[in-house]
């Protein structure tokens, strides 16, 4: 069976003129369907860079990323965007919701972008928001929601397309303990119920302990947390 995400000898450097700053160095990672993985590591070690490469948002300097068996390096930008939309969902530290759109429209947006009609995508968005306890906040703008509620909306937005894997970059970094737990438990429930793989970047070892595997990014490679 194909791994949902696989990267082989992945290297990435930032270039400032001729000055090269290596960030990832021959990194390998395999993610199975339904697996949950925490990625830890010091600030600046390259965790967000890695997620951007896995999602095809940035291109590796060397090596390859395969999403469900397809090598992103062989796709043009348009096909990369389509593949990302089909298999992956992103959740960021700061929710990145569109401020002028309601919770319902934010969650419906990925399907609208995929060309689904408004009624269809809003019905799906409404179901998903109800499932996560936000049925009374459908028409609220992001500025009219609490931090935890915004992050739950962001998770719903990542899930509406039924991704095979969620890439979450410090999704609870901005929340108090109670909201952080709710958001984390929501992601873990979806992981178990929908068999959606989960890659969570976190600084919190308690969160890492709830995942199937915890890996540390250090000197550009991933090693198991000991």
Ligand X SMILES: Nc1ncnc2c1ncn2[C@@H]1O[C@H](COP(=O)(O)OP(=O)(O)OP(=O)(O)O)[C@@H](O)[C@H]1O
Residue numbers of the site for ligand X (CB under 6 A)? 14, 21, 23, 41, 43-49
Which of the 8 DSSP states describes residue 189? H
- Report the distance separating Cα 136 and Cα 193, nearest Å: 24
Taking the complex as a whole, the smallest distance from the CB of residue 174 to Mg ion amounts, in Å, to 13
Measured from the CB atom, the residue of 43 and 226 that comes closer to ligand X is 43
Query: Which of Mg ion, ligand X, none interacts with 216 (beta carbon under 5 to 8 A by kind)?
Result: none
Taking the complex as a whole, the smallest distance from the CB of residue 45 to ligand X amounts, in Å, to 4
Measured from the CB atom, the residue of 11 and 48 that comes closer to Mg ion is 48
Query: Which of ligand X, Mg ion, none interacts with 14 (beta carbon under 5 to 8 A by kind)?
Result: ligand X
Measured from the CB atom, the residue of 68 and 174 that comes closer to ligand X is 174
Taking the complex as a whole, the smallest distance from the CB of residue 170 to ligand X amounts, in Å, to 7
Task: Say whether 113 sits in a helix, a strand or coil.
Answer: helix
Instruction: Find out whether 197 and 30 touch, Cβ atoms under 8 Å.
Output: no
What H or E segment, with its residue span, contains residue 14? strand 5-16
Measured from the CB atom, the residue of 190 and 217 that comes closer to ligand X is 217
Taking the complex as a whole, the smallest distance from the CB of residue 29 to ligand X amounts, in Å, to 15
Q: How distant, in Å, are the alpha carbons of 32, 33, 68, 83, 208 from that of 1?
A: 9, 9, 9, 18, 26
Of 33, 163, 167, 1, residue with least CA distance to 86: 163
What H or E segment, with its residue span, contains residue 47? helix 47-54
Q: What are the structure tokens assigned to 14, written together? A: 């930032």
Of 95, 140, 142, 102, residue with least CA distance to 122: 102
Site residues (CB under 5 A) for Mg ion? 48
Taking the complex as a whole, the smallest distance from the CB of residue 19 to ligand X amounts, in Å, to 10
Task: Say whether 153 sits in a helix, a strand or coil.
Answer: helix
The whole-angstrom distance between residue 82's C-alpha and the CA centroid of its chain comes to: 16
Taking the complex as a whole, the smallest distance from the CB of residue 118 to ligand X amounts, in Å, to 36
CB atoms within 10 A of CB 35: 20
């Amino acid at each position: 069976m194909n791994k949902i995400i696989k990267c082989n000898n992945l290297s990435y450097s930032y270039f400032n003129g001729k000055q090269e700053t290596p960030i990832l160095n021959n990194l390998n990672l395999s993610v199975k369907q339904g697996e949950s993985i925490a990625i830890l590591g010091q600030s600046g070690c390259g965790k967000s860079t890695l997620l951007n490469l896995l999602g095809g948002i940035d291109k590796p300097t060397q090596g390859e990323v395969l999403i469900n068996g397809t090598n992103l390096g062989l796709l043009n930008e348009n096909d990369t965007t389509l593949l990302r939309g089909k298999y992956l969902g992103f959740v960021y530290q700061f929710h990145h919701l569109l401020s002028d759109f309601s919770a319902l429209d934010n969650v419906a947006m990925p399907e609208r972008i995929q060309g689904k009609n408004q009624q269809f995508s809003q019905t799906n968005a409404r179901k998903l928001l109800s499932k996560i306890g936000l049925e009374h906040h459908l028409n609220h703008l992001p500025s009219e929601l609490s931090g935890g509620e915004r992050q739950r909306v962001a998770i719903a937005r990542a899930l509406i397309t039924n991704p095979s894997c969620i890439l979450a970059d410090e999704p609870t970094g901005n929340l108090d303990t109670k909201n952080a737990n709710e958001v984390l438990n929501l992601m873990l429930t979806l992981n178990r119920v929908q068999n959606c793989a989960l890659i969570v970047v976190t600084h919190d070892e308690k969160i890492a302990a709830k995942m199937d595997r915890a890996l540390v990014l250090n000197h550009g490679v991933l090693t198991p947390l000991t």
